[in-house]
Amino acid sequence: MLKLYYSPGSCALASHIVLEEAGADYETARIDFGSEEQRSAEFLAVNPKGRVPALVTDRGILSETPAILLFLAQSFPQAGLAPLDDAFATAQLQAFNSYLCSTVHVAHAHGGRGHRWADDQSSFDDMKRKVPETVRACFELIESEMFEGPWVLGESYSLCDPYLYTITRWLERDSIDVATLPKTHAHMQRIEARPAVQKVLADHFG
């Protein structure tokens, strides 16, 4: 059985929603970031990166959201979560998710995890001040250039949607009012109407 290690509201939310949307048989294990459980010897034996998500499969462990999501779409093709028979469309999906992980998530992370890239408190404060500007620029680019509507890739709900939603949920912490990003705001409301999403949110925050 698949087993997802996650912490509530982290980027592992995307993998959790996709497991639910796919109808997968899975279990979860909650990692407590408050007590730094992700750095514990027990969890590092699962994922040496000390990060979530980590997905245990019968072949071994997977990490990195874009890889986990594509694996789930390929493992549960009947769920129709990726245009797997079209290499170009799949590449557009992967390009979107790669942008989220390497640019948008990274921009957000400078608000609370500046210690990853610097040592001085003044640098952390400087980074944190800039987050609303950098994250907003990412979302404006998504709205102007990438978001097809009503879902990210157009008419079909895909792996891009729960991942975008996961990062959209961080906007408030980034001092950005989602209502100022109209496509993102409508997308958030649209995806929160899905039963699979409600079920996972109840687990993370209920």
Q: How far apart are CA 91 and CA 153, in angstroms?
A: 11
Total number of residues that touch a second copy (CB under 8 A)? 47
Residues 162-191 that bind a second copy (CB under 8 A): none
Q: How far apart are CA 186 and CA 18, in angstroms?
A: 20
Looking at beta carbons only, is 94 or 198 nearer to a second copy? 94
Of 25, 42, 116, 177, which one interacts with a second copy (CB under 8 A)? 116
Residues 12-71 that bind a second copy (CB under 8 A): 48-49, 57, 59-60, 62-68, 70-71
Of 19, 82, 107, 159, which one interacts with a second copy (CB under 8 A)? 107
Distances (CA, A) of 161 to 76, 97, 100: 17, 9, 11
Q: Kindly give the pairing relationship between strand 54-57 and strand 60-63.
A: antiparallel
Beta strand residue intervals within the chain, DSSP E? 2-6, 26-30, 54-57, 60-63
Instruction: Return the residue matching tokens 């290690």.
Output: 5
3-class SS of residue 45? helix
Q: How far apart are CA 137 and CA 15, in angstroms?
A: 25
Looking at beta carbons only, is 86 or 192 nearer to a second copy? 86
Closest separation in Å from C-beta 18 to a second copy: 13
In the stretch 130-149, what mask flags binding to a second copy with x, by CB under 8 A? x---x------x--xx----
Q: Where on the chain is the footprint of a second copy (CB under 8 A)?
A: 48-49, 57, 59-60, 62-68, 70-71, 74-75, 87-88, 90-95, 98-99, 101-102, 105-107, 110, 116-120, 122-123, 126-127, 129-130, 134, 141, 144-145
